[in-house]
Structure 1
């Protein structure tokens, strides 16, 4: 049995989850922001070391590598993408993303927008075809101004893309691919076929903005692997919950793919406990990402906000908060603010000793004694308490006129209150549901988890043995898959003509089978899921899962209508509309599944490592707390707070009134004691 490798890059660390049969290993390496393929390959090398196998032999014996990355996400945040040219329908130039309210560079500069005269009706009838001379003049003007790629986004192309294809053909005929002057041309209708012209412009523009860097880095990562004897495809994590090879990955599908994968892991862990409602909390070095799963359905955004830009490409929904271990603390107008800016991997928190001078959450945890300076990442990284204290004194304690210890406590308290408030708001958005199970992960998540749970009224938490690399573990649950959309706008009344559904499903299946063949899977190995995006007369939308053959029986149609009514409310005399159909084709690949472990034989006190002086209150002296080694705590062991439980990659602080018990899945189940 070969290895499986799953890698997830974060803003501070790159995480690896590696399996062979029933065994798993976890690794963490520093993220290299200048070139994410460097930390990717370092993670591969550490993975081989974790199994004590030479790198070439390890990769030769690896069955699959899945990679979720932040390359595209970072480009949008940092606005370091190329200059792109945008061609739209004349009269709609004002819809283009040429302004950025956050003071950053716009994705598209105002001078890089050109318009052509063309018209397609809302029903998809072409009334005017764009003239070739005008198209070429627009393209040439954008190229002359430095466009590295062109985006064609015409009105109503989501209904009929004929005019967009005419524009592309005109440009490609003038600039063939074998000419040095050729530039990539992207059609918005290839990226998304959903209503909303401005959102489609945004989606297509963002896709083009991050395409070039992703292409270079991901193909480089694949080439690096081949040089080291890897024989398979490199599969890239998508924000729809599947992976695909580089050649079949659209750039926008990688946005937030790591945090999105975490939702699938939270769903899997929640299912072990029969939890109807699961919330996920991922606190790494840069952010705190939250989401939820209700009755087995992960949170989903039909019109997601991508770094301030409204888009209409559906994806798993994650709410990202600027609250991580590296979040910078500063006093603004006499008030402490923590985040959203982060020290990241470089220069990192002051205590890392890599040149960082700003006070961060990690520095505060070190000053409070919550972190062991000699055991961070299992002792592979030493932390400098003096540098942490100096940064907190300069940035927080002096401006507020308080002690360093009190300032550190205030930093910790602020970030926990901020995240707790966001979790409470998310619970309200979910509507009436049972008390959720909170699955906590990320390198910093378990350390703050009880305080955050208390602030949001949550009483039960789960921390897995691989919580520090949980998104990488979650990637191991992802199958190879492709999701295809087709705009239909079909009224769903009881006598609806569903031949359009039959035709669309058949055509999309053919596309999926062709793509899957390119990735080494036969048509017989593909499983099919149907996603229906239904709109009410009032304009509200909902996503509904349906059998692929639902349209073959009146009962199937009725079941879809009942689901839609439950989500959107009664339709009255106006029918619901099936506006978009999505077909998800997946081919199963190797997954790691948690297994039950035998009861621990050694007594719980055998896991005690000693004591550490820890500050448990904003004011008052530090007290000695017992410290337990998480690796020595087994099934059936239980400890009550206040106590610290440490592993090589994360720290759990269990306060007074909470208890931790290791269960049969080797998970730490943390509960509020009544």
Structure 2
């Protein structure tokens, strides 16, 4: 078979229920995939086992791997479960309570028992330093060595007491966030130098490095979160890299960032907070990649796994990027109830439950699904691992959507009878329903909630869901996509081959990318362009350095420049692209026109006569380690009618009866050009596609199954 060293790229994404793997042959574009249950007690253990199993299956060793890319939920879980370091915060004197006062706004004005998330750093570990920089960046008071020595001594004394009491929690993690440090970082940098002189083992996160942007609460929250997860992330990533080395993998390990780019272990360890949406971002990148392959530039990606379901808006083959994110919400679906994080991330709306979400009757006697999940351990009842409460997956088994004998290619048989008993006991009997009706109720509640949330999200952004194709993936996405699309009045759904592990496939095709930013609020008419050019050049230099360090040749690095602007007096900004080359007086009109255009597209009008304020300058440096081409096959001229590998009873909403005898097809046997007429079930190892009655699916050259709900319409 020739020398296969360095010919393959491997990606793995650890989710709440399953860990997904994808192996790409760079010379042919062929992809091999794998999926197994996540090991919550030690996620790396399951990952290494899966990597070994996948390599063994194709007859490879670690030496065949050119790159390994990883998506992880480690940071998200650490923040949600409060399992990070025992961090501390140094801040400007008088501002130690910024993490508590926040924006002084109620996210639900009618909730008399309103709760906010507890700060990651308790008040007694938030210490003030007598220093001051004003809003223009002028240093009014410098940091004094004696002040730093005093606060460090207090922290070290407390840590010594904790160790003496037997505490094993990380303690040497420190966030430094001074007022207006985004304009002038001198005091933060001076404080860091002084701390390291007397506390060399401490791990320090500076707000001027982590999030050099305006908004004091968000900047402080982001920096504290970075300090909180940095020690555990660094240990995990280095341990994982060493384990891969032991497997014979000689190259670097790369991490998927929330922004949809990948970075080295070193960069990810420095800014671990940027890993919060690591895995889901891979799904959005994979969706954009396959959308482009089949000619769909504008998509709604629909990712439903074992724990959650998320959508992302993709336009011009690029996922929408947001610079506002919340994590560890007190109320899962209430914005403002979580910890704000300020960095670039693929904008994803969590719209519902996952396959492991538990169904129960609430205090009003109504059927409710989620937000709590059975996860990977014990998992749904049908897994036979000790779960007792019915879940979305159990409903799918009862309705005939999942074949108990073919789950995960037959490696993990499901217990349909146990699922039926759980639904009967917990839901059907109390509600006076049949088991089938209760199972359909679970399915419909999930689909209705996801469609409603998706519709609101899109309408708020001025988008009509009917104008977009839906690209469905995740282990549970292809089962529920037809129901969501029906409610959103979408007539075109794309199911990629390997949809159950698309997040891992997305890691394979993602570029090396990193964003640097800095806030310099100015009215557009008063900008000092030479000063702006120096600032942007510094950001470009930082970006090029990070991307080059990841292995991208200097001549292949691409730079994108943006500025976040707003009408003076407003709160929220809109990001617009900057013109190429040096910025000068002529750039004023270009930026103003771009801002007015973007504002009109969002709100339908422009505020004439109101000055525009530019707030934050951003530079994204990116480049690919190597071009990725996924295998493409020409359609057969006269593809034979697909042969069903069997039939089973399936409930179809369109038929209104239990059960309809339905043909079941093997996804891997469907050649490009093959047509599948609904009703039909199409099974692959990691997911199952439902083709409803009246719909027609066609397989394209990339093995995507494209389902159109209106017969006769071109696929």
- TM normalised by structure 2 equals 0.88
Rounded to whole Å, the distance in 1 between the matches of 2:44 and 2:101 is 31
Shift of 1:650: 1.0
Shift of 1:38: 1.4
Q: Which residue of 1 aligns with 2:18?
A: 13
Residue of 687, 695, 710 corresponding to 1:658: 695
Residue of 169, 176, 185 corresponding to 1:152: 176
Rounded to whole Å, the distance in 2 between the matches of 1:186 and 1:310 is 17
Moved more, 421-430 or 435-444: 421-430
Shift of 1:347: 1.1
Q: Which residue of 2 aligns with 1:197?
A: 216
Q: Secondary structure at the match of 2:401?
A: coil
Q: Which residue of 2 aligns with 1:367?
A: 398
**1:30 counterpart = 2:68:** no
Rounded to whole Å, the distance in 2 between the matches of 1:113 and 1:436 is 48
Q: Secondary structure at the match of 2:237?
A: helix
Rounded to whole Å, the distance in 2 between the matches of 1:309 and 1:378 is 40
Q: Secondary structure at the match of 1:28?
A: strand
Provide Cα deviations, 1:473-493, integer angstroms capped at 9, x if missing partner.
111121223322133334333
Shift of 1:224: 0.6
Provide Cα deviations, 1:597-642, integer angstroms capped at 9, x if missing partner.
2224785544311110223359743231111111112222222222
Shift of 1:19: 0.9
Shift of 1:42: 1.9
Q: Per the alignment, do residues 297 and 543 of structure 1 end up closer, same or farther by CA in structure 2, a change over 3 Å counting?
A: farther
Rounded to whole Å, the distance in 2 between the matches of 1:571 and 1:296 is 30
**1:3 counterpart = 2:8:** yes
**1:501 counterpart = 2:529:** no
Q: Secondary structure at the match of 1:608?
A: coil
Matches within 5 A, 1:632-651: 632-651=669-688
Partners of 1:3 and 1:18 within 8 A in 2: yes
Shift of 1:115: 1.8
Residue of 338, 343, 353 corresponding to 1:323: 353
Q: Which residue of 2 aligns with 1:470?
A: 502
Rounded to whole Å, the distance in 1 between the matches of 2:541 and 2:116 is 45
Q: Which residue of 2 aligns with 1:672?
A: 709
**1:283 counterpart = 2:288:** no
Residue of 284, 301, 325 corresponding to 2:322: 301
Q: Which residue of 2 aligns with 1:251?
A: 272
Partners of 2:143 and 2:190 within 8 A in 1: yes
Shift of 1:44: 1.6
Partners of 1:278 and 1:438 within 8 A in 2: yes
Partners of 1:322 and 1:341 within 8 A in 2: no
Matches within 5 A, 1:155-304: 155-175=179-199, 177=200, 182-249=201-268, 250-304=271-325
Shift of 1:276: 4.7
Rounded to whole Å, the distance in 1 between the matches of 2:83 and 2:178 is 26
Q: Which residue of 2 aligns with 1:131?
A: 144
Q: Which residue of 2 aligns with 1:87?
A: 90
Partners of 2:642 and 2:674 within 8 A in 1: no
Q: Per the alignment, do residues 594 and 378 of structure 1 end up closer, same or farther by CA in structure 2, a change over 3 Å counting?
A: same
Rounded to whole Å, the distance in 2 between the matches of 1:602 and 1:275 is 25
Q: Secondary structure at the match of 1:607?
A: coil
Provide Cα deviations, 1:22-79, integer angstroms capped at 9, x if missing partner.
21111112111222211221232133134222xxxx3112111111111001111222
Rounded to whole Å, the distance in 1 between the matches of 2:241 and 2:563 is 35
Residue of 616, 626, 643 corresponding to 1:590: 626
Rounded to whole Å, the distance in 1 between the matches of 2:318 and 2:633 is 28
Matches within 5 A, 1:503-542: 503-537=534-568, 538-542=570-574
**1:62 counterpart = 2:65:** yes
Rounded to whole Å, the distance in 1 between the matches of 2:312 and 2:469 is 12
Provide Cα deviations, 1:88-120, integer angstroms capped at 9, x if missing partner.
222223321599966865422233222222221
Q: Which residue of 2 aligns with 1:580?
A: 616
Partners of 2:552 and 2:625 within 8 A in 1: no
Partners of 1:476 and 1:590 within 8 A in 2: no
Q: Secondary structure at the match of 2:583?
A: helix
